[in-house]
Amino acid sequence: MKSQHLQDTALRYFLEVVRCGSISEASQRLNVASSAISRQISSLEEMLDTVLFERRPRGMVLSAGGEMLAAHAQKVALEADRVVADLQALKGLRSGRVRIAASEGFSIDFLPRLINAFQKKYPGFVFQVFVGPPAAVSRQVREGNADIGLTFTRLPEAEIKVVHRQPGPIFLVMRHDHPLSRFKQVSLSQLHPYPMALPDPTTTLRQLFDIACSRQQVVIEAVMTSNYIQTLHNYLVDNDALSITGEVTVRYRTAAGELTIRPIRDCPTDGRFIEVQTLAGRTLPRSVDIFLEYLLAELSKDM
């Protein structure tokens, strides 16, 4: 990439070893001899009078000084990417690359439809989407592997700038003609006659649901649990089972009449939030900013 020419060679090699965890793997990815990478890192250590890595049998681990340099090197790399992208934009190129890290709830329908609609306006844009749990999403942003993070959170994350935040309350989700669909909202006590299909306990959705059940002294036994939300939602279509969800996750399926959502009276509405995240202190390329503006407008729509 052109941005590599704006970065010091030693820093680039150092950063690749940080990402890979070993000189040999960095050598393969960079197509550079291991000895050359070792020399550059040794040169950095000599110049800074600091040991950057602890050499271990299973790889190389950053020292305290190495962590400080890695943070600097990452910012240099991201700034170089931004400069190149913005220079290309000055030429009138309607193109760009956007790297997104997102929780699963956004990746099923919301993001694919959003990206498709955006690319109709900007056909030269390409996207890279990482899907993982909230902590992994923030980590991808923090380590510079994603430009934008889109996730559900309960607690603030270090080194993360929250560009947008809105409540992400829990909803009960069911097939469109379920007996409970006639109510505008439901209580936890109304769930007992029906089988429950619940997300994995590691999700923010399930954690808040379990907390609410504990406070109300309601015991819910799930007939099925899954770490894949789509499996739960498809399970509901042909029976009286219920599940829990966020509004954005099923926005298009509820609009199409496939599923119905209802607020749960006993679950707090401010227990978790939808966050759009970027790396604190980073200036985003103009191409990423264009998509970010589009994302925020769509995310805030009341469906």
CB atoms within 10 A of CB 154: 12
Which tens digits make up the pLDDT trace of 98-125?
Answer: 999 999 999 999 999 999 999 998 888 8
Q: Give the residue, 154 or 204, on which the prediction is more confident.
A: 204
**pLDDT score, position 272:** 85
Q: Residue 47 contacts by C-beta under 8 Å, 6 or more apart in sequence?
A: none
**pLDDT score, position 197:** 96
Confidence band (pLDDT; 50, 70, 90) for 65? confident
Strand 124-131 to 196-199 pairing: unpaired
Strand 273-279 to 160-167 pairing: antiparallel
List, in order of start, the domains of the chain with CATH numbers: 1-73 (1.10.10.10), 94-166+272-303 (3.40.190.10), 171-263 (3.40.190.290)
